Amino acid sequence: MTLARQHQIQVVAHRGASEEAPEHTLAAYKKAVDDGADALECDVRLTADGHLVCVHDRRVNRTSNGRGAVSALELSDLAALDFGSWKRHHDEAVEGEGPDWEGSAGADTSVLTLERLLELVAESNASGRQVRLAIETKHPTRWAGQVEERLLLLLKRFGLDAPPSEGASPVRVMSFSARSLHRVRAASPTLPTVYLMQFVSPRHRDGRLPPGVRIAGPALRIVRNHPGYVAKLKRAGHQVHVWTVNEPEDVELCAELGVDAIITNRPRQVLTQLDRL
Ligand code: G3P
Ligand code: CA
């Protein structure tokens, strides 16, 4: 793809290599690293006993063999669940065969803490395989700052809370909540933040984002319906990270528009299309 070669698009594995392995499990993130993803995306929620775990939905019903809200369960409750069986059943029903990820080394499908994911990123970077982490705070307003507080404490333990500059940071924090990003920036001004958008609200129509935010995270539907908006964001000085881009024609569109990152469930396929593998 000629256009894609003109600039390096970061390929971000959405919930890990989540098309092939169960989302938000170590199995999915190890696969994404092995596949060559530049970065890993994860959602974080607080458990009842204050641990940050990587789970997308408010409840664990869809992605585990348990039931209940993450916020009402303790880490030990979550540790007793299997976050891979739903995907095994889905793959067998849809594709008629067992999944590839299951037999692979490190096919861990227990609940993933953010701490363990940060360890994986650190291990990977120490071994010379550079990978970044994009952490999304889910429903942060409900917790009045606790999600960001725990997140920053954890990042501090890994020496990642105060990078010398935004560009040098292996971690960035994403949210649909401007307030959540504001809290992060107030505590850690050089940590990059990404403002996620489901739609373009009137106050951001001209390409400006909440104060201090340098990266825009528009949904793919915004880019499809208003391709000129990417140029507007870039003219306003922002990087553009688009989610969730899985189809080849959408990868092509994003490359043509010069986006900076593609967030995808299929990192290997996207890297192949961008002539990176
Ligand atoms: O990367 C941003 C994207 O993940 C936001 O949507 O629902 O997949 O968390 P969602
Ligand atoms: Ca997310």
Q: How far apart are CA 230 and CA 240, in angstroms?
A: 7
Which residue has a Cα nearest atom 2 of ligand 1? 243
DSSP codes of every residue in 51-101: -EE--SSSBSTTTSSS-SBGGGS-HHHHHTS-SSHHHHHHHHHHHSS--SG
- DSSP for the chain? -HHHHHS-PEEEEETTTTTTS-TTSHHHHHHHHHHT-SEEEEEEEE-TTS-EE--SSSBSTTTSSS-SBGGGS-HHHHHTS-SSHHHHHHHHHHHSS--SGGGSTT---SPPBHHHHHHHHHHHHHTT---EEEEEEPSGGGGTTHHHHHHHHHHHHTT-SS-SSGGG-SEEEEES-HHHHHHHHHH-TTS-EEEEESS--GGGTTS--STT--EEEEBHHHHHH-THHHHHHHHTT-EEEEE---SHHHHHHHHHHT-SEEEES-HHHHHHHTT--
CB 16 within 8 A of CB 37: no
Distance, CA 242 to ligand 2 centroid (Å)? 12
Token digits for 136?
Answer: 């999304």
Which residue has the least CA distance to atom 10 on ligand 1?
56
| Distance between Cα 136 and ligand 2 center (Å) | 6
Verify whether ligand 1 is closer than 6 Å to residue 241 (CB atom). Answer: no
Please tell me if the CB atom of residue 136 comes closer than 6 angstroms to any atom of ligand 1.
yes
If phi > 0 it is left, if psi is from -120 to 50 it is alpha, else beta; for residue 157 that is: alpha
The interface predicted TM-score of the complex, written ipTM, equals: 0.99
Ligand 1 in reach of 43 Cβ (< 6 A) = yes
State the closest ligand 1 atom to the C-alpha of 134, by its place in the atom list counted from 1. Answer: 1
Q: Kind of pairing, strands 132-137 and 171-175? A: parallel
Q: What amino acid positions are annotated as catalytic residues?
A: 14, 56
Asked if residue 263 has its Cβ within 6 Å of ligand 1, the reply is yes
> Which ligand sits nearest to residue 263's alpha carbon?
1
CATH number of 2-273: 3.20.20.190
262 CA to middle of ligand 1, Å? 12
CB of 65 within 8 A of CB of 86? yes
Query: pLDDT tens track of the chain, all 277 residues?
Result: 655 555 799 999 999 999 999 999 999 999 999 999 999 999 999 999 999 999 999 999 999 999 999 999 999 999 999 999 898 888 888 877 766 766 554 578 999 999 999 999 999 999 999 999 999 999 766 667 899 999 999 999 999 999 999 999 999 999 999 999 999 999 999 999 999 999 999 999 999 999 999 999 999 999 999 999 999 999 999 999 999 999 999 999 999 999 999 999 999 999 999 999 8
Instruction: Measure the CA–CA gap between 94 and 92, rounded to whole angstroms.
Output: 6
| Cβ(23) – ligand 1 distance below 6 Å | no
- What confidence score (pLDDT) does residue 5 get? 52
Contact 51, 24 (CB under 8 A): no
| C-alpha of residue 177 to centroid of ligand 2, in Å | 12
**Is residue 243 in contact with ligand 1, taking CB distance under 6 Å?**
yes
Q: Domain ranges in the chain?
A: 2-273
